Structure 1
Amino acid sequence: MRKLIYGMNQSLDGYIAATGDDIGWSGPPSEELFQWWLDLEQTCELALYGRKLWETMSSYWPTGDQRPDATPAEQEFARTWRDTPKVVFSSTIDKVDWNARLVTGDAVAEITRLKAEDGGPMHIGGATLAAAAMRAGLIDEYVVATHPVLVGGGTPFFTALDGWVNLDMLDTRTFPGGVVMTRYEARR
């Protein structure tokens, strides 16, 4: 059975995007934080994306390594991103590329099916998609990179749930700029 990891940057008040889908508050990550995200990306065998995050990622990373100012870590991230198989969940777009396939039907059923397969970890991104997986009890690990900023509203990292989800802390780490990374595992 595959492990499903949900990880994203969030503001101290719990939002992955401020009102208007503004993610500018997180600024460019420190080299150390970027390397941490790259290391996580390289451990995952499959990436699951909601439409908005897919559009953000696919607008930059397919050629991110070809930018003249790209750091070695950014070059490696772009190559890893292109090579990692991806599943995009959306009912509003009709095609995807960059080693991805599109699922327009029941996201929870497809994620459940993918989790039941043999293979390495999967990561999930995008608030709406992750919320559906959270409500279905499919997330095995939460990775929260909390930035020292209050944005006052927007898209929350966590969704409303019908019941408690007990977690065990796996790791905590501080990065430059006051970013605190915490990792939790869902207690089963």
Structure 2
Amino acid sequence: MRPLIYGMNLTRDGYIAAAGDDIGWSAPSDELFQWWLDRERASSLSLYGRKLWETMSSHWPTGDQMPNATPAEIEFARNWRDTPKVVFSSTIDKVDWNTRLVTGDAIAEIGRLKAGDGGPMSIGGATLAGAAMRAGLIDEYALVTHPVLVGGGTPFFTSLEGWVNLNLVETRTFPGGVVLNRYKTRR
């Protein structure tokens, strides 16, 4: 089985975006950006919900051509374009940049992908990841917590019908008081 990893930046009070989809609080340090780049390189397939896809695809296809792009941003953009992606949405009809669109049952497709051959898969987007979480498909959680409280917005975690027991496998601090906690799902 291919592992499925859900990781995102989040606020101390548990949101991946503040009200109005504001993510202005999440600007990464160079060290944190490098960590995200390394994670992206380790992923053989990226799964996106529509909103995160729209955010990523509005910048990264040409992110390496920005005048002030750092070497890590250049590498991230190139890796993003090259990595196979699947977008789950019933409201868009076209995707580009090494991407396949799935308009049907997301959970069935994620289960099929997990059962196939290949390396780790990443999943992003609160709605898509929430559905995968409720279906018991997430194998690892990477919480990159920023020291800010926003009081509301889009939560990292969804409501669950039962407990999910986790094992802490890594803790790391980054500049600015950002803390990474990685957990593997205990099955």
TM-score range, shorter chain: over 0.9
TM superposition outliers: structure 1 runs of 4+ over 6 Å:
none
State the secondary structure of the residue aligned to 2:47.
Answer: strand
2:179 match: 180
1:62 match: 61
Q: TM-score, normalised by structure 1?
A: 0.99
Structure 1 CA distance, aligned partners of 2:117 and 2:92?
Answer: 29
1:14 match: 14
**1:52-109: CA deviation from partner (whole Å, max 9, x where unpaired):** 0000000000000011100000000000000000000000000100100100000000
Structure 2 CA distance, aligned partners of 1:109 and 1:39?
Answer: 29
State the secondary structure of the residue aligned to 2:149.
Answer: coil
Q: Do residues 94 (structure 1) and 55 (structure 2) align? A: no
Q: Do residues 109 (structure 1) and 108 (structure 2) align? A: yes
Structure 2 CA distance, aligned partners of 1:16 and 1:23?
Answer: 7
Alignment of 1:22-171 (within 5 A): 22-26=22-26, 28-171=27-170
**1:116-148: CA deviation from partner (whole Å, max 9, x where unpaired):** 001100000000000000000000000000000
State the secondary structure of the residue aligned to 1:62.
Answer: coil
Structure 1 CA distance, aligned partners of 2:176 and 2:97?
Answer: 33
Q: Which runs of 5+ in 2 are unaligned?
A: none
- Percentage of matched positions with identical amino acids: 80
Q: TM-score, normalised by structure 2?
A: 0.99
Q: Which runs of 5+ in 1 are unaligned?
A: none
State the secondary structure of the residue aligned to 2:13.
Answer: coil
- State the aligned residue count: 187
Q: CA RMSD in A?
A: 0.4
Structure 1 CA distance, aligned partners of 2:55 and 2:155?
Answer: 17
**1:5-34: CA deviation from partner (whole Å, max 9, x where unpaired):** 0000000000000111111121x2100000
